[in-house]
Amino acid sequence: MLEPQDKENWKKVKKLIVDKFGAEEDVDLDTILFLVGVRELGANRKKFKKDQKLDLLHIAICRVLSPYGFYELEGKDDDGWPHYRVKEKLPNLKAGEQSILMKQALIRYFLEEGLLQEF
């Protein structure tokens, strides 16, 4: 379960996504991860192929879990796509525990990137 401060910050993350991107109030984790992936890619494109969308989710997951020591950025390819290497295997977590870890990692990302300052 998220701590009270994390719950408050998670609400701020969701509000930011709703306000900036017109997402639905009940924006889900995958949508937020997708947007982080697009941000990390630095892509201004609006259209991605299905496999690219999955790659964007992977980029976001690697990026937000990097501060926890699970991934490390190796660099970018010729097209500008970031590539990460596994530093430490992720622990086996139940679905609810995975969700909490991802929310905490996303909160940390948004705070470290200074994206929640206005909220």
pLDDT tens track, the chain, 119 positions: 899 999 999 999 999 999 998 888 889 999 999 999 999 999 776 789 999 999 999 999 999 999 999 999 999 999 899 999 999 999 999 999 999 999 999 999 999 999 998 77
| Whole-angstrom distance, CA of residue 62 vs CA of residue 117 | 24
Instruction: Give me the pLDDT at residue 51, please.
Output: 96
Q: Is 26 helix (H, G, I), strand (E, B) or coil?
A: coil
Amino acid at 90: L
- What backbone torsions phi and psi does residue 85 show, to the nearest 5 degrees? -115, 150
Question: Could you state, in order of their start, the residue ranges of all structural domains in the chain?
Answer: 4-112
pTM (2 d.p.)? 0.93
Instruction: Give me the pLDDT at residue 87, please.
Output: 98
Q: Is 114 helix (H, G, I), strand (E, B) or coil?
A: coil
